[in-house]
């Protein structure tokens, strides 16, 4: 069966369309990039056994005006105090882009480690897709950051500052370890904890290689 991808959401192992861009991570399914269709027959539909966080919704307020010198509102800081790269950066051929490129990485600090907002901005999106992936999108004056799989303690419309604790590292959704067909969380396994991150420069519209950013203060 083939089903049409919507303009923003759908993950399959992790697969998403965020602002018209599809990410692809640890997926056993297949994508027809020319037709913008995903073959959902090849994706397992494991039950999510762990309860997922409830996500309160609210109206997104306008982004505050930048600081006069622009430094505070355009800076990019750490997502973790200390972390390691577990996969990536993804690019064409691994992260499958249908309309424009995205570069993504997986980083890990340890189960339930604090996740920090790397930018000052507003939470524009926070949702759980049908596969149980948690997706958080924060937009500032220069950067838009998408984080996945964590337990986040903010809501849509929350204004955050760089360095603020916004959640903890988790394994929500389709997170795997080699040799296992089904996601860690669905199997009730204590594995697969990490944060998937991609960053876009809103001033140019271009994707940024996360490895060029200070994702961890210990790097």
pLDDT computed for residue 104 by the predictor: 87
pLDDT computed for residue 126 by the predictor: 97
Q: Which residues of the chain have pLDDT under 70?
A: 1-73, 90-102
Q: Which two tokens stand for residue 43?
A: 């994706």
pLDDT computed for residue 56 by the predictor: 56
Instruction: For the chain, list the domains and their CATH numbers.
Output: 49-212 (2.70.70.10)
Instruction: Identify whether the C-beta of residue 64 lies closer than 8 Å to the C-beta of residue 143.
Output: no
Q: Is 94 helix (H, G, I), strand (E, B) or coil?
A: coil
Angle (CA) 137-26-53 rounded to 5° is: 45
Element (H, E) at 37: strand 37-39
pLDDT in tens, 90-144: 654 443 443 345 688 999 999 999 999 999 999 999 999 888 989 999 999 999 9
Interacting residues of 178 by C-beta distance below 8 A, sequence separation 6+: none
pLDDT computed for residue 36 by the predictor: 36
CA-based nearest residue to 82, from 113, 111, 118, 112: 113
């Amino acid at each position: 069966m083939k089903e049409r991808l919507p303009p923003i959401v759908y993950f399959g192992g992790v697969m998403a369309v965020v602002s018209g861009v599809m990410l692809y991570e640890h997926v056993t399914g297949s994508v027809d990039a020319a037709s913008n269709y995903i073959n959902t027959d090849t994706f397992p539909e494991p039950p999510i056994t762990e309860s997922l966080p409830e996500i309160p919704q609210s109206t997104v307020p306008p982004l505050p005006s930048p600081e006069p010198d622009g430094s505070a509102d355009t800076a990019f800081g750490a997502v973790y105090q200390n972390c390691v790269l577990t996969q990536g950066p993804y690019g064409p051929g691994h992260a499958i882009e249908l309309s424009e490129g995205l570069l993504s990485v997986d980083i890990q600090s340890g189960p339930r480690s604090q996740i920090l907002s790397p930018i000052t901005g507003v939470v524009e999106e926070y949702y759980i897709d049908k596969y149980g992936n948690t997706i958080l999108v924060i937009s500032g004056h220069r950067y838009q950051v998408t984080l996945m799989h964590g337990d986040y303690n903010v809501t849509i419309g929350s204004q955050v500052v760089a360095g603020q604790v916004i959640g903890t590292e988790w394994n929500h959704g389709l997170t795997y370890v080699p040799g296992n067909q089904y996601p860690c969380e669905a199997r009730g396994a204590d594995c697969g904890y990490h944060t998937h991150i991609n960053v876009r420069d809103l001033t140019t519209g271009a994707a940024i290689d996360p490895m060029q950013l200070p994702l961890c203060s210990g790097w």
